[in-house]
Amino acid sequence: MDSAPGNDLNAIQTELSRLEAYRRRIYLGVLTLTIAIILLSWAFRENGDPFIAVAYPVFAVVLAGLCVALWRGATSLRIMEITLVATVSTMILSRLAWHFGFGDPLGDHLLLLAGGHYWAVGILIVGGFITLGYRGGLVTGVATFLFSGALATYEVLGCFLAAGEHCHNWVYLARIHLFLAVLLALTSAGTFLRERIWSAFTRAETLQHWANTDPLCGLANRRGADHFLSAEAALADRYQRPLTIILIDIDQFKGINDDHGHKVGDCVICELADILSNTVRGVDLAARWGGDEFLVATPGVDLRAARHAAERCRRAVEKSPIAGVSVTVTVGIAEYLPGKGTDDAINRADAMLYRAKAAGRNRVIAEACELA
């Protein structure tokens, strides 16, 4: 069942906050594992490898600082993501460049290069898309691939020019870079499609939200109310649970517009909408039914309880002036009868509303319990 449109914005904000907290926890876990890998590599390093001996402890300290900043929420998540990718890229690519410069990459250290470093390059490419999205990931991935390809090309050309004995191993580097190219293409395509699908769903949900929401006060409009009532009526028919319809009309609203202007009239509409939003439950519907008339639907609430709730709302409106104007409301209530349809309940609530107006306004009249 669709929720009441007036509740959608709060639900979206709550979900976004939950997702941001989830992302922070994931990044904390990844950083912790990365620090563990760095420290293991440092503790069991080969003799004569000054890069690991000197640079790895520095990177471990920097990543630990990022962990603390993430945990404390010291800055925006986007800045943390950019900083994280930049730090890890610097570590992986500088290590790769060191290996090409000092590690005999086409000779005895070829296996170490392929098994110990290029897996990290692949993770960097994938992680860039996951962390930064399609555009940021594409920039990071292409730059990483080009940097690694330039190092390999320079090494292979130098080997052939020097007539080295291991130049035939260039084919392994070529296969590795073809693998990286496939990984880059697949990850970029997957991320692009995911973002386009997400964007399409977001646009559709936004259009649906505005199609079912009153632009002045933010409550559900008649279209949104009809969808809600149809779904709740089906549940009431199936499970025989009560559903009450409350119609609320602002007394002498035309006089408010004539005497104080339409701007004040709009303020009255918006303020009453706020009162209704703060009065109804999360499972209820509060809608602007048309003009100065509002509709409240209360699933699972019988006629007696709905009357008490409507009376509280009426007193809340009467208690304080709105935009400097004394405002009162008249309320009519009817209970949905299974199998009769929602129009029947709305018409009976409307009849109660007219009875309340005829009785002097500023009052609540509910349909007789015997009829329900």
Same domain, 258 and 161: no
Element at 35 (helix H, strand E): helix 8-43
Same domain, 198 and 278: no
Q: What is the pLDDT of residue 280?
A: 86
Query: With 60 as the cut, is the pLDDT of residue 198 above it?
Result: yes
Same domain, 128 and 235: no
User: What average pLDDT does this structure show over 280-305?
Assistant: 90
Report the alpha-carbon distance of residue 42 to residue 18 in Å, rounded.
Answer: 36
User: What average pLDDT does this structure show over 39-61?
Assistant: 88
| End-of-domain residue from the set 209, 234, 258 | 209
Band of pLDDT at residue 10, cut at 50, 70 and 90: low
| End-of-domain residue from the set 179, 209, 239 | 209
pLDDT, mean over the chain: 88
Same domain, 340 and 312: yes
Same domain, 275 and 335: yes
Q: Residue 371: which residues within 8 A CB-CB, separation 6 or more? A: 348
Q: What is the pLDDT of residue 372?
A: 35
Query: With 70 as the cut, is the pLDDT of residue 125 above it?
Result: yes
Q: What is the CATH number of the domain that holds 299?
A: 3.30.70.270
Which of 99-113, 172-186, 270-284, 313-327 is the most confident on average? 172-186
Q: Which amino acid is at 210?
A: W
Count of C-beta atoms within a 10 Å radius of residue 7: 17
Report the alpha-carbon distance of residue 213 to residue 288 in Å, rounded.
Answer: 9
User: What Rg value do the Cα atoms of the chain yield, rounded?
Assistant: 33
Query: With 60 as the cut, is the pLDDT of residue 75 above it?
Result: yes
Q: What is the pLDDT of residue 48?
A: 75
Same domain, 297 and 203: no
Count the domains in the chain: 2
Least Cα distance to 88 among 67, 110, 112, 114 occurs for 67
Report the alpha-carbon distance of residue 218 to residue 199 in Å, rounded.
Answer: 23
Is-contact 180 122, C-beta < 8 A? yes
Sheet holding 243-250, edge to edge: 285-290, 293-299, 243-250, 329-335, 364-366
Query: With 80 as the cut, is the pLDDT of residue 351 above it?
Result: yes
User: What average pLDDT does this structure show over 74-101?
Assistant: 90
Q: What is the pLDDT of residue 9?
A: 58
The string over 22-54, giving b where at least 16 C-beta atoms fall within 10 Å of a residue's C-beta and e elsewhere, is ebeeebeebbeebbeebeeebeeeeeebebbee
Report the alpha-carbon distance of residue 183 to residue 186 in Å, rounded.
Answer: 5
| Residue at 203 is within a domain | yes
Band of pLDDT at residue 56, cut at 50, 70 and 90: very high
User: What average pLDDT does this structure show over 78-85?
Assistant: 92
User: What average pLDDT does this structure show over 249-270?
Assistant: 91
Q: What is the pLDDT of residue 354?
A: 93
| Residue at 216 is within a domain | no
Is-contact 288 219, C-beta < 8 A? yes
Q: What is the pLDDT of residue 91?
A: 93
| Residue at 214 is within a domain | no
Same domain, 312 and 186: no
Same domain, 171 and 272: no
| End-of-domain residue from the set 180, 209, 238 | 209
Same domain, 230 and 331: yes
Report the alpha-carbon distance of residue 293 to residue 368 in Å, rounded.
Answer: 22
Top pLDDT among 105 and 294 is at: 294
Q: What is the pLDDT of residue 370?
A: 38
Same domain, 283 and 247: yes
Residues 269-282 pLDDT 10s:
999 898 888 888 88
| Residue at 217 is within a domain | no
Band of pLDDT at residue 146, cut at 50, 70 and 90: very high
- 3-class DSSP state for residue 338? coil
Top pLDDT among 53 and 107 is at: 53
Report the alpha-carbon distance of residue 352 to residue 344 in Å, rounded.
Answer: 13
Range of the domain at 38: 5-209
User: What average pLDDT does this structure show over 15-33?
Assistant: 90
Q: What is the pLDDT of residue 111?
A: 64
| Residue at 105 is within a domain | yes
Query: With 50 as the cut, is the pLDDT of residue 313 above it?
Result: yes
Residues 214-242 pLDDT 10s:
888 888 999 999 999 999 999 999 988 89
Query: With 80 as the cut, is the pLDDT of residue 357 above it?
Result: yes
| Residue at 318 is within a domain | yes
Query: With 50 as the cut, is the pLDDT of residue 2 above it?
Result: no
| Residue at 191 is within a domain | yes
Same domain, 101 and 205: yes
Top pLDDT among 211 and 224 is at: 224
Report the alpha-carbon distance of residue 59 to residue 39 in Å, rounded.
Answer: 10
| Residue at 280 is within a domain | yes
Same domain, 92 and 156: yes
DSSP output for 201-246:
HHHHHHHHHHHTB-TTT-SB-HHHHHHHHHHHHHHHHHH---EEEE
User: What average pLDDT does this structure show over 292-321?
Assistant: 90
